[in-house]
Amino acid sequence: SQQGEEDPQALSIQEGENATMNCSYKTSINNLQWYRQNSGRGLVHLILIRSNEREKHSGRLRVTLDTSKKSSSLLITASRAADTASYFCATGLSGNTPLVFGKGTRLSVIA
Amino acid sequence: NAGVTQTPKFQVLKTGQSMTLQCAQDMNHNSMYWYRQDPGMGLRLIYYSASEGTTDKGEVPNGYNVSRLNKREFSLRLESAAPSQTSVYFCAGGQGVTGELFFGEGSRLTVL
């Protein structure tokens, strides 16, 4: 069963615009992670935010976490054509259980 | 430093044939995982190994077996392939079960 669900399923923006993707989850988490997948490639880890953190930055990436709403958002600022990819959230649950991935958001950045 | 390496990258099987997907990591990861990715379904966990010598079922283990051969290697075996097992398979490694994962480039399997 999917723990995290990304929204929207697909997003198309112009280069230079900001892209925001959301992830909602159902149960309490230890951490939440975002991954990127370029077409035909493996997933690459972007950022991890722990349950006691509210916001985290990495370069042009900004991730927020609202545990009261069980949701997270990934903001990519000043997007580039190279940001075109699928983005997945993954939730790390308490206890020794593996990450559970959502179905992803397909981002297209048009030059 | 290759990271996580999967072989083969592509494979076509006939229904009923068997095969093994190999995965090796050189990052000293304790945990290793096998996921499958299907269109519209995201990644679903097949089996994982939290540490050398242990394996556990994930969300979709039916039709698969795994072997944690040593700390570096984690193989996935299909004993009797079925068309429903047509998918892209990803191996991943990480230090802890809920920590950051490092993925291989995937193995695309087609079962006719």
CA distance B20 to A42: 19
B74 close to A (CB below 8 A): no
Nearest-Cα distance to chain A for B91, in Å, is 9
* pLDDT-above-70 percentage for chain B: 99
pLDDT digits (tens, 9 = 90+) for B76-92: 999 999 999 999 999 99
Test B35 with A101 for CB contact under 8 angstroms.
yes
φ/ψ (deg, to 5) at A30: -90, -40
Q: Which residues contact A69 (CB under 8 A, 6 or more apart)?
A: A24
pLDDT at A97: 85
In chain A, residues with a C-beta closer than 8 Å to the C-beta of B48 are: 98
Q: What secondary structure does DSSP assign to chain A, as a single string?
A: --S-EEE-SEEEEETTS-EEEEEE-SS-EEEEEEEEE-TTS-EEEEEEEETT--EEEETTEEEEEETTTTEEEEEE-S--GGG-EEEEEEEEESSS---EE---EEEEEE-
Nearest to A96 among B4, B45, B50 (CB): B50
Test B101 with A99 for CB contact under 8 angstroms.
yes
Structure tokens that stand for B100 in this block: 């950051």
pLDDT at B20: 98
Test A104 with B42 for CB contact under 8 angstroms.
yes
Q: Is the pLDDT of residue A61 over 70?
A: yes
CA distance A98 to A67: 19
Kindly report the number of other CB atoms within 10 A of residue B91's CB atom. Answer: 29
Test A101 with B43 for CB contact under 8 angstroms.
yes
In chain A, residues with a C-beta closer than 8 Å to the C-beta of B4 are: 42
Residue window 33-72, chain A: list those with CB within 8 Å of chain B: 33, 35, 40-45, 48
pLDDT digits (tens, 9 = 90+) for B41-72: 889 999 999 999 999 999 999 999 999 999 99
Confidence of residue B1 (pLDDT cuts 50, 70, 90): low
Structure tokens that stand for A46 in this block: 């972007």
A14 close to B (CB below 8 A): no
Test B100 with A45 for CB contact under 8 angstroms.
yes
